[in-house]
Structure formats: structure tokens, C-alpha cells
Amino acid sequence: MKLTKHWAARLDDYVIDLAWSPDGTLLAAASSAGPVSIFAADGGGQLHILPGHDNGTNVISFPSTGGPGTPLATGGQDGAVKFWDATAGQHTATAPLGTAWVEHLAWRPGSQPALAAAAGRKISFLNPDASLLHALPDSPKTVSALAWQPAPDSASIPATP
């Protein structure tokens, strides 16, 4: 196999996470220092630098489907999930989840976007406007991974009482 370098970029600190937009036109790169850079995939030009999270960004995630204004979710050491319009480079909403670091994000597959976020022992389900869909009772131990069953639009999330 022969690999070819197409472009390279520098961040202010080491890369802690990468995510491609659903259409493959954007690459988001989170620096451990906090900022998130948005690059054009076709040439590597830096389109935006998002401030990310105080004390550091841990995880970034695009949904599996999207179009113009595709949301980008980020989780950080500040215990929050932030939502961004990656195309415009604008912050759109924040969901504070407590004091534990947000280390895992997973978008529900299909046409009804929802985001699962893990912070310590908590799992929360969020809408792209940062409103809470549902919060599970605390897990006995720290949540170490998240995944959705690949059944688009068939699984529902119970409403928070």
C-alpha cells in the first residue's frame, strides 16, 4: 500500500480527537488545549477555530447524516456538551452535565438526531439544541464507551419524567 500526503495542518497542542462531516467535506480536529479547528477536506484550508472547552476538549462528533449547517458536538473537561454549526463556525447551544469530564459522544443513526453523552457515571440523551431528552440513573462505574443499535428511527428514547 502506498500512502500519499495531501495536506497537513498544525494545532496549538496535540490532537485528541478527529471527526469527518457526514458529506466528507469538513474535518474537525480537537486540540487537547481546548480549541477545535475546522478544515476543508479538499485542500486543508482552516475554515474556523472554535474555542471548544475550558481546560480541554475530550471528544468531538458529527452525526452520520446532515447537510448545510450540520451540527458538531463536542465534550470537554468542563463537564459540558457544546453544539456548533460547523459550516458557519458558530456555537449554537451548551448542555451542562455536571462536574465529570464528558469523554464519549454518539449520535443516533437516522433522520431524528439525538446525541448520547457520557460524563463519568452519567449517560444523557440530548437534542441538537442542547435540551435534555432523557437521563439514565448513574451507572455503578464510569461509562467507558457508547454506541447505538444500528436501527435508524426505530428506537425511541423515553421522556424524562
Which value, in Å, is the radius of gyration of the alpha carbons in the chain? 16
Domain presence at residue 144: no
99 Cβ contact list (under 8 Å, min separation 6): 79, 120
Identify the three-state secondary structure at position 16: strand
Q: Which residue has the cell 426505530?
A: 154
More confident residue, 154 or 15: 15
Domain presence at residue 157: no
Cα–Cα distance for residue pair 8/2, rounded to 1 Å:
17
Q: Which residue has the cell 454518539?
A: 106
What's the whole-model pTM score?
0.89
What is the arrangement of strands in the sheet containing 102-107, beginning at the earlier edge strand?
Answer: 102-107, 115-119, 122-126, 132-135
Predicted local confidence at residue 82, as pLDDT: 98
Residue 64 banded pLDDT, cuts 50, 70, 90: confident
What is the arrangement of strands in the sheet containing 36-40, beginning at the earlier edge strand?
Answer: 15-20, 26-31, 36-40, 46-50
- Host domain of residue 45: 15-135
pLDDT in tens, 94-111: 999 999 999 999 999 877
Please give the tally of structural domains in the chain.
Answer: 1
Q: What is the CATH number of the domain that holds 85?
A: 2.130.10.10
